[in-house]
Structure 1
Amino acid sequence: MSSYLRLSGINKTYGDFVALDNVNLDVAKGEFVTFLGPSGSGKTTTLMIIAGFEQATRGSVEIEGVSLSGLDPQDRNIGIVFQNYALFPHKTAADNVYFPLQMRGVKRAEGLKKAQAMLELVGLEGFAHRYPKELSGGQQQRVALARALVFEPDLLLLDEPLGALDKNLREQMQIEIKRIQRKLGVTTIFVTHDQTEAMSMSDRIVVFSKGNIEQSGPPLDIYHRPTTRFVADFIGESNLIPGHIANAAEGVVESPVLGTCRYLTNGQPSVSNGDEVAVVIRPEHMKLSRNPIEGRSNARMTIDTIVNYGDNALVIGHAGEQPIRVRVLGADVVILHEGDECCFSWTDDAVFLVTS
């Protein structure tokens, strides 16, 4: 992958606290990359260093090979949208969008024409003369997005911009932001702690934890092939079941919970006989039944709680001391009850191993 944005050896400390520890990342031109992680993981700090609002203790940020070191935020040609939108309350939508062009010396007539075109692109045709107080949260967010894009930035940074919106509007804006990003082809960094946003919007997800990048890759790779326990546990829902490698060549792991469990060796981490591992099986890749299902691996569990979502249900139980979570179709859950003992089953291709 050719690098458009490059982060090299980024380190950020606050006294004795290490916020970022040797972060390295290459982003291709036009790519939509999401920084995902819990609070305090370093994702927003990294974004602020790219934007120039924070200075790295060590390391460099480059766009197309040109260092941004020493440049103030306004000199970096980077558009940024914050969660609170930061619109000027005394300016109309058009004037808010025109503002960055005004700061770049663009004459008002030309600038307002560009602002109007950008408002139309984000779906706000006819809203140019409204003030922020006359706009809904979603409309304000679109104005902020138009303002960040109107001057044709080299890079677009989005810092949890959908956090203040309700669920339905947030989902609508996810689709809209991705549509606009594809249309303009602008290289985009999106920061969120919401896994659904990351999975649905990204070309690539970068998972942060404790100031480090845990894993980087396409959403489905991150989901189906996590490389660490943290990623397996943080992205979606996982059953992380302890075991040890019985036969690495043939793909056999022994587990006190699962018994003899087979896995497909292709694409798994490098392991040797006797290695301690965590067996990862996603809840939706398991089935529940009264009796063992032929052709699948089976183990027994006791149901503790059933959480109904309408079209599906999450069945939470235990096998010995090991918690087990299985997601089933809503129609199937009627045969199960809390306190029941039942079988949970899986196939070899549902098993993935993590070692760290």
Structure 2
Amino acid sequence: MSSYLQLSGINKTFDQFVALDSVDLQIEKGEFVTFLGPSGSGKTTTLMIIAGFEKATRGTVEIGGASLSGLAPHERNIGIVFQNYALFPHKTAEDNVYFPLQMRGVKRAEGLAKAREMLELVGLQGFSHRYPKELSGGQQQRVALARALVFEPSLLLLDEPLGALDKNLREQMQIEIKRIQKQLGVTTIFVTHDQTEAMSMSDRIVVFEKGKIQQAGTPLDIYHRPETTFVAGFIGESNLIPARITDVSAGTATSDVLGVCAYAADDQVDVTAGQNVTLLIRPEHIKLSRKAVEGRKNVSMDVETIVNYGDNALVIGRVGGFSMRVRVLGADVVIIKEGEVCNISWLPESVFVIDR
């Protein structure tokens, strides 16, 4: 059975620049999928092709088995929320939300009643008659979301809609958007360069880089099982250590930095003895101590910098000539000071192999 939204062989070139290179992706009905990547990675271009604002140089987009080729944006039944919200300043909140229904021939009384229902869903009951200038940034964002949902779209596209909000409001809106999406069951694509947003909101994350999909998977898969060094470095903090596979059956690799190091026994990566790889150790999986810890791989680290965040701290040091990062609870950082030597240790199941 085919997926609800299917992208097949999507290419997009601008003169000689290749913006998208053979993008294939399947999204199931009701999924919340985030396109994540740095600026220029291709995530927004992919969104614009789905919406119909850009035309693919090659490839097809299908929703529910029907091709979108040749359909204008307004013919695709897709709801879109942009970062700038694009509200009509001369229309009230309810008239802004009613507008897509008006364009579809829905009578005003019926349309305004539906608009008010949608405003209530997004937490704006009592704000129907206010104009955009009378609303906060977060309230305007909710109006834009209500407008994108009021006509029951086949697909909801969110293009960095939280970028203009402050940190606390962003976090509040992340929760609200996810709640509304689950309540309505609408298939949603969310575009962001913010990994925290992607991790906290998504059913699946699609990581873009240089016009290609690097990896698609659940947030935990992306974080704990990155398939490329780019994904490992882009998602969360990482210690990425060059190494060479020593013994496949024993699950060991040798590094100039760490010496012989055992890696996760259940790591399914297909490697051979002598192969050059990268070892990933997340900073929060490393224990910092004064003395060696029994049953773990132990190395000595010269502490250079301690960044205290209150509830936790980031300890940056050097093992030989290699920079290592360790994340510890704020209370534990008192055991060591900048300029001192400490011990760091970890278990084999905290080491993962990346072969590309």
CA distance in 2, matches of 1:92, 1:114: 15
Shift of 1:265: 3.3
CA distance in 2, matches of 1:230, 1:193: 14
Aligned to 2:172: 172
Aligned to 2:60: 60
Is the partner of 1:21 in helix, strand or coil?
strand
Aligned to 1:292: 292
- Give the conservation status (yes or no) of the 8 Å contact 1:268–1:352: no
Shift of 1:2: 4.5
Aligned to 2:163: 163
1:249-268 counterparts in 2 under 5 A?
249-268=249-268
CA distance in 1, matches of 2:310, 2:226: 29
Is the partner of 1:128 in helix, strand or coil?
coil
Aligned to 1:323: 323
Q: Which amino acid aligns with 1:225?
A: R
CA distance in 2, matches of 1:310, 1:102: 52
- Give the conservation status (yes or no) of the 8 Å contact 2:11–2:57: yes
CA distance in 2, matches of 1:321, 1:157: 46
Q: Which amino acid aligns with 1:230?
A: F
Q: Deviations over 1:221-265 (max 9, x none)?
A: 000000000000000001001110000111011111111111223
Aligned CA RMSD, in angstroms, stands at 0.8
CA distance in 2, matches of 1:277, 1:210: 22
Q: Deviations over 1:295-320 (max 9, x none)?
A: 11111111110000001000011111
Aligned to 1:124: 124
Q: Which amino acid aligns with 2:24?
A: N
CA distance in 1, matches of 2:285, 2:312: 13
CA distance in 2, matches of 1:344, 1:45: 43
Aligned to 1:41: 41
Shift of 1:110: 0.3
Aligned to 2:344: 344
1:213-252 counterparts in 2 under 5 A?
213-252=213-252
Shift of 1:127: 0.2
CA distance in 2, matches of 1:268, 1:287: 25
CA distance in 2, matches of 1:104, 1:321: 65
CA distance in 2, matches of 1:127, 1:264: 54
Matched, 1:199 2:199: yes
CA distance in 2, matches of 1:272, 1:184: 48
Matched, 1:273 2:273: yes
Q: Which amino acid aligns with 1:238?
A: S
CA distance in 1, matches of 2:80, 2:291: 56
Is the partner of 2:88 in helix, strand or coil?
coil
Q: Which amino acid aligns with 1:338?
A: E
Aligned to 2:182: 182
Is the partner of 2:180 in helix, strand or coil?
helix
Q: Percent identity over the alignment? A: 75
Shift of 1:268: 3.0
Aligned to 1:94: 94
Aligned to 2:111: 111
How many corresponding residue pairs? 356
CA distance in 2, matches of 1:292, 1:105: 73
- Give the conservation status (yes or no) of the 8 Å contact 1:245–1:277: yes
CA distance in 2, matches of 1:173, 1:117: 19
Q: Deviations over 1:154-197 (max 9, x none)?
A: 00000000000000000000000000000000000000000000
- Give the conservation status (yes or no) of the 8 Å contact 2:267–2:353: no
CA distance in 2, matches of 1:339, 1:276: 33
Normalised by the size of structure 1, how large is the TM-score?
Answer: 0.99
- In structure 1, runs of 5+ residues without a counterpart are none
- In structure 2, runs of 5+ residues without a counterpart are none
Aligned to 2:282: 282
Is the partner of 1:7 in helix, strand or coil?
strand
- Give the conservation status (yes or no) of the 8 Å contact 2:2–2:65: no
CA distance in 1, matches of 2:332, 2:318: 19
Matched, 1:83 2:73: no
Q: Which amino acid aligns with 2:348?
A: D
- Give the conservation status (yes or no) of the 8 Å contact 1:257–1:299: no
Q: Which amino acid aligns with 1:98?
A: Y
Is the partner of 2:345 in helix, strand or coil?
strand
Q: Which moved more, 1:106-115 or 1:257-266?
A: 257-266
CA distance in 2, matches of 1:96, 1:163: 21
Q: Which amino acid aligns with 1:130?
A: R
CA distance in 1, matches of 2:267, 2:182: 31
